[in-house]
Every structure is written in structure tokens, then in C-alpha cells.
Amino acid sequence: MSVSEKIGETDKTTVVPVALDDRSYEIVIGAGLIDEAGGRIARLRPGAAVAIVSDETVAKLHLPRLEQSLAASNIRAKSILIPPGEHSKNFASLERVVASILDAKIERGDFVIALGGGVVGDLAGFAAAVARRGVDFVQIPTTLLAQVDSSVGGKTGINTKQGKNLVGAFHQPALVLADISLLDTLPAREFRAGYAEVVKYGLIGDAPFFEWLESSRSQVFAGPGRARAVAQSCRHKAAIVGRDERESGERALLNFGHTFGHALETATGFSDRLRHGEAIAIGMVLASRLSAELGFCGADVEQRTATHFQAAGLPTRLQDIPGELPDADAMLALMGQDKKVRRGALTFILTKGIGKAFVQPDVEPEPVRRMLEEAIRN
């Protein structure tokens, strides 16, 4: 599960192509890329203007450098700021961002730039998808989670009271600039949350990558292993997206742990009680447990997964989530809103072992309920 890699302008820059015919684009991975953004965008589309969508926290850290880079390439830019956090992924924020894009007279030949983490990328991408019936956009992800997952693949959207990311559109970026030096400003909790999505790629289809993470996790956290972890994760996602852009089959594997995780995020009100990556870490442990209980793998898969997440400082049990949680029946009801549900039947991403995930449709609710009841007790 890999795609070809080519080396960019220096031996410290990696370029991973996402092959989607006329919607193909590149993920550029390296340090200092935010300072090159203006030149790269100018070469991508000479004369284009941009609207930068960012949150207030990221803007204080990184927006001046981006604006300076754009100005150096004579690119007209308008910055649009939103409050940080998952609560900004809603209809009200979408309306405000779209209105600001139109007020800035951004045309269909211009760009929207998403400067931030997954929330900013999802919201800005969706706004770009609907403004003037489609404006191209550039992802400059500033979190580990966004660099390895949400910035790649074209999924955009917002949350509703019914669940996470239930309103949105597929809208591929024109370019992704994954500047790994920006990760130095991440709070430790945010970095850990993003690391869960890195581990996911090993768990779903690359046992050797998972083994490398087991032995080299400290290098990823300290810095020397970050470029390799981001590049390998992006190769996996690019390959899957290239084969299944709209999640009609194989791309669903990228949702390993997400049926449980999204339900937990909804149950905790998309709050600081639970970051997305934390929810997915717990979800992957639960998916491994369900796989074992349904006879697809041994209990060692759950244990090995949980041990690695615990070593990384991530939660692995429902009891690790502060505050009250719904009962098993209420959790099942939340899972019923999952985008993989077909004609009311639950579909899970399960596993036959490390690196051997698969799509299992039509899972009966009773074994899931029993497992959740046990997980709530223990």
C-alpha cells in the first residue's frame, strides 16, 4: 500500500502525488514550507488572489509568515479568522466564512487557503466547495493530525447535533504544504492526538510501519522521525484516495476506529473533554476488541494496540474520558448516524491482525451492545 515518492527541490523535501486525473495534486512535506507558500502558489496559478481561513490561535503563531510570503509574491490576500475548536465547525461559521470569501471578491480562479488543523481545513474546504459553486483551495496543515489525515483526500464538512461531519462535500485541494517545523508549536496533547492517526496507517495495512512506530515512537515525538512518519502516512492515504476517492469501498478502511470515535465525540459535545485523535485511539482499541469477540483475530491485537497508545500517553478506555457518558443503547443510537450505515445496518472497520483491516457490513447490534456494556463497566 504505497505510492511513488519523488524528491523535491532539496533532499529534505518529499513530494507525494495524489493521482486523481484532472484533480491530481501534490503533498509537499518538509521544514520551512510556509515561507515558500507564496512562490509555490504563484507558480501554481499566476495572478491568483487568496482568502486565508485560520483560527485565532494559529493566526497568532503563523499567519504573519504566510502573509509575508504571499506579499513577496505579489499575491492579494484577505485573512478570515474563526474561534479555535470543534465548535467552529457549524452552519453559522460556514455562513460567515463564505460571506467573507465573497466580500473579498475571491473568484473561481483564485484560492482559499486553510491555515490550521482539521477544524480549519474541514470548514475552509467546505466553504471553498460551495462559494461560487467551487473555488480551489490550498491546505497548509499546522497539526500532526491534519498533516497525516484531514488535509489529504478532499473530505470537507461541518458537524451538526446529529453527529460529526454529516454535512459536507468532497472537494480536493490543489496543493498540500505539510510544514513539519510548524509542529514544534503544538501543545503536547494535540501532538499525541495526531499521533493516533499516524498509528492508524500501520494498523489498517502496514504491519512493518506499526513495528517501526513501536520502536521509534520517541523519535517521532522528539522530531527526528517526524518527516518519515508524516511522509509514510501521506503515502498510504494518497494511495487509497487515488483508488477510491469517494469512499465507495477501500477508502472506508481509513475510518478504522471512527465509528466508535465519532460517537464518543458526539456524546462529549465536541468539547475539550475529548480530542478527535483521543476518541479515535479509544475507537481503534474498541474495534480491535470487537474483532476479537467476533472471532476475526486474537485478543493480542487489542492488547498490543492499547499498550502502544498508552505508552504514547493516549486514552484507551472509556473510563479515561472525564465526565459521564451515555449507556450502551445511547451509544448505539449515535453510531446509527455513522456515514457507513447502509439501510440501517451497522458497518464496522474490523481487523484480522496488525495491518489487516477490512470492511465488515451488516454487523448485528447485540454483540456491539454487549461489548460496550462491558467497556463501560471496565
> Is 276 designated active site?
yes
- Catalytic residue of the set 43, 133, 343, 377: 133
What are the b/e assignments for 170-206, b being 16+ CB within 10 Å? ebbbbbbbbbbebbeebeeebbbbbbbbbbbbbbbbb
> Is 171 designated active site?
no
Residue 241's identity, in one-letter code, is V
> Is 132 designated active site?
no
> Is 107 designated active site?
no
Q: What is the CA radius of gyration of the chain?
A: 20
Phi first, then psi, for residue 160 (nearest 5°) are -135, 175
Task: Name residue 304's beta-bridge partners.
Answer: none
> Is 60 designated active site?
no
- Catalytic residue of the set 62, 164, 262, 339: 262
Q: Which residues contact 361 (CB under 8 A, 6 or more apart)?
A: 342, 345, 347
Is 288 in contact with 296 (CB distance < 8 Å)?
A: no
Cα–Cα dist 323/300, whole Å: 29
Q: Is the dihedral of CA 104, 107, 109, 114 positive or negative?
A: positive
> Is 87 designated active site?
no
Cα–Cα dist 27/173, whole Å: 10
Cα–Cα dist 180/15, whole Å: 13
Is 321 in contact with 315 (CB distance < 8 Å)?
A: yes
Q: Which three cell numbers stand for residue 110?
A: 483564485
- Catalytic residue of the set 217, 235, 237, 339: 237
Cα–Cα dist 277/204, whole Å: 16
- Catalytic residue of the set 276, 289, 308, 339: 276
Please state the separation of Cα 206 from the chain's center in Å. Answer: 18
Helices 276-293 & 258-267, crossing angle to 10 degrees? 130
Cα–Cα dist 47/44, whole Å: 10
Residues with a catalytic annotation lie at 133, 155, 197, 237, 247, 251, 255, 258, 262, 276
